[in-house]
Structure 1
């Protein structure tokens, strides 16, 4: 058993040497730290040649006493010297309160960090888009690798299971549009134009846009959470190990299902919204359903339907790739899954609205108004 720690102060020529002995470990230090603090003898060297054992606590005490007295540590073996070097690196001043930063500088710093993060995310999404296209090309070249069962399962999750909530949302939105439009148009004696408002805005904009937001909240978040959990449990690494491409097996079926179903869901949402608006027009404005339908056919051009159907698959691709991309970025712990899922929903909705604005300008430019 190692002896208890102790020390003596001796004079060797022109030097005064502090010479600890025994075991400089937490269990054997005893009152040595207090005695070292109270020693009045000045010394310029700490000789560790007689130390039997030293741990991190002992190394910190020896380093601190040498630092405070401006002394040199000598006689340490390799292990003791390594511990002393490590505690010396860790000896940094700790600020109880951070430096005060001017609010304007802090705001600029946060804006810059947000811009850099957005740029990196955009670059990552573009790279992920390229990887998805390459995976699609590989499946086209090797049709046997196409996973039909996975795509059909995603059809049910993305489409069939969402019919209820999308239908209810669209029906209520149609009622709200009709009610608000009728209230405003009544001031000019033009309640009949409520039908124009309902038909055009639902087929052209709100039907597809609100469907995209709902799909982003349901399916985009689900994709991120599923892939993120698989990343944490190393299932994706296991797939790569056995030669299965995660892009082909996990990402591509989700992207295909969302791209295919978004036009159908958007068209379904638009029809349900028109039905909701027509019901309110029947009850509030006393416009019969037959008249309502005939008026919709007259005032809504077919290009409005084309605009919605063109935008829908693009929105679907953005939602699916954003969710899958964020899920594949999960690393570390379960909290990361929640953060990435939230990021997937926010980014998908943001990109959908940005693209919707772009499409509005583009279709106006080509004359589809």
Structure 2
């Protein structure tokens, strides 16, 4: 059966305006009268409007919605209905329940104000994060000091488990990436220095770059992405399942139970991983240098020992405990800040990785300035 044309008229002769609707008011028919409907949406709302459904035939939610909007009745003065229809009363009531009180669309905000607003909120968030991180740093230092003073309170079994998962299991990827970093440095050094007839200095370039910078930096970046996210996810899952609340009820400190073992594990494993990364990087650079420059292993290691020296090794290793402490603190803090939903867990995991990488780069720049001033 074809749809009947939707029609309406407004009777203002009585004490209250009456909207008489006839035909089918469905999603297929209301489009033709939408423009005319907009013209009557200025009905007087001081008195309840009336809708006459005596001639109404088919009705769906789209039709009920435009009827309700045309009436412009308030919550305190609902529209009255006259006439009989099998579903009109219930349909209008349901539509009114879900559309009443809807906020108007906000005024468009200029782009420059949006940018300034986002920048301001970002600065406030950075400030809050900095204050919370400094506070958590102090708590961690106190907890680690208590652990040093009383080693029997340290949970050694979880510490070894974290050392295995976060440190030992990361050895293959750390050494592989460091090997290729050393090889790439050797390739670049050989290509550039060969134009100046100084390709033999590729050995010194590999030594300085790997021992001083890239060995510890690659290790820090890998652990920031691999272990930091793991710390946040593990502690955050415990926070979501209220295990941490249970610890506090039982009189256990989450700092001693969760944070201290992870800090100790990274403080022990990070220098070991850095040392292995340095070995792998030197090996990668040595292989490329020997194959492309026809340099013997004896010459390579003699020049490395004479011109680079062990001080560059210690310059790189001195950064390892600092990076380990930063990565562990950021991962654990973000995990403890997880709320009771999975969205928060994902956000905190992402934030821990981003913050750890950012802090690694910043601290690396600070170390470079310090070493430059000290002449190291």
- The CA distance in 2 between the partners of 1:65 and 1:248, in whole Å, is 59
- Give the match's secondary structure for 1:66: coil
User: What is the deviation of 1:331?
Assistant: 0.3
Give 1:133's aligned residue: 141
1:243-287 Cα distance to aligned partner (Å, 9 max, x none): 111100100010111122211211210111010000001111111
User: What is the deviation of 1:130?
Assistant: 1.0
Matches within 5 A, 1:8-27: none
Matching residue within 297, 314, 334 for 2:322 = 314
- The CA distance in 1 between the partners of 2:135 and 2:100, in whole Å, is 43
Matching residue within 103, 109, 112 for 1:94 = 103
Give 1:274's aligned residue: 282
Matches within 5 A, 1:221-300: 221-300=229-308
- The CA distance in 1 between the partners of 2:145 and 2:182, in whole Å, is 41
- The CA distance in 2 between the partners of 1:148 and 1:328, in whole Å, is 21
Matches within 5 A, 1:115-154: 115-154=123-162
Give 2:77's aligned residue: 66
- The CA distance in 2 between the partners of 1:283 and 1:225, in whole Å, is 44
- The CA distance in 1 between the partners of 2:280 and 2:186, in whole Å, is 13
- Give the match's secondary structure for 2:338: coil
Unpaired segments ≥5 residues, structure 2: 1-14, 16-47, 53-71, 81-95
1:179 paired with 2:187, answer yes
Mean Cα deviation higher: 164-173 or 134-143: 134-143
User: What is the deviation of 1:182?
Assistant: 0.7
1:314-348 Cα distance to aligned partner (Å, 9 max, x none): 00100011000111110031121111111101100
- The CA distance in 1 between the partners of 2:175 and 2:240, in whole Å, is 35
Aligned-pair Cα RMSD in Å = 2.4
- Give the match's secondary structure for 1:95: coil
Give 2:50's aligned residue: 38
- The CA distance in 2 between the partners of 1:270 and 1:143, in whole Å, is 32
- Give the match's secondary structure for 2:295: coil
The question of whether the paired residues in 1 share the 8 Å contact of 2:183 and 2:288 is answered with yes
The question of whether the paired residues in 1 share the 8 Å contact of 2:228 and 2:328 is answered with yes
User: What is the deviation of 1:146?
Assistant: 1.2
Give 1:344's aligned residue: 352
- Give the match's secondary structure for 2:77: helix
1:171-221 Cα distance to aligned partner (Å, 9 max, x none): 111111100111111111111010010000100001101110001111111
- Give the match's secondary structure for 1:130: helix
- The CA distance in 1 between the partners of 2:366 and 2:78, in whole Å, is 65
1:341-361 Cα distance to aligned partner (Å, 9 max, x none): 111011001001000000100
User: What is the deviation of 1:120?
Assistant: 0.8
User: What is the deviation of 1:68?
Assistant: 8.8
**TM-score calculated relative to the size of structure 2:** 0.74
- The CA distance in 2 between the partners of 1:323 and 1:346, in whole Å, is 10
- The CA distance in 2 between the partners of 1:365 and 1:329, in whole Å, is 38
**TM-score calculated relative to the size of structure 1:** 0.75
- The CA distance in 2 between the partners of 1:210 and 1:219, in whole Å, is 13
- Give the match's secondary structure for 2:318: helix
User: What is the deviation of 1:67?
Assistant: 8.2
- The CA distance in 2 between the partners of 1:198 and 1:39, in whole Å, is 86
- The CA distance in 2 between the partners of 1:188 and 1:151, in whole Å, is 52
- The CA distance in 1 between the partners of 2:254 and 2:171, in whole Å, is 29
User: What is the deviation of 1:39?
Assistant: 7.2
Matches within 5 A, 1:103-118: 103-118=111-126
- The CA distance in 2 between the partners of 1:235 and 1:254, in whole Å, is 17
1:191 paired with 2:203, answer no
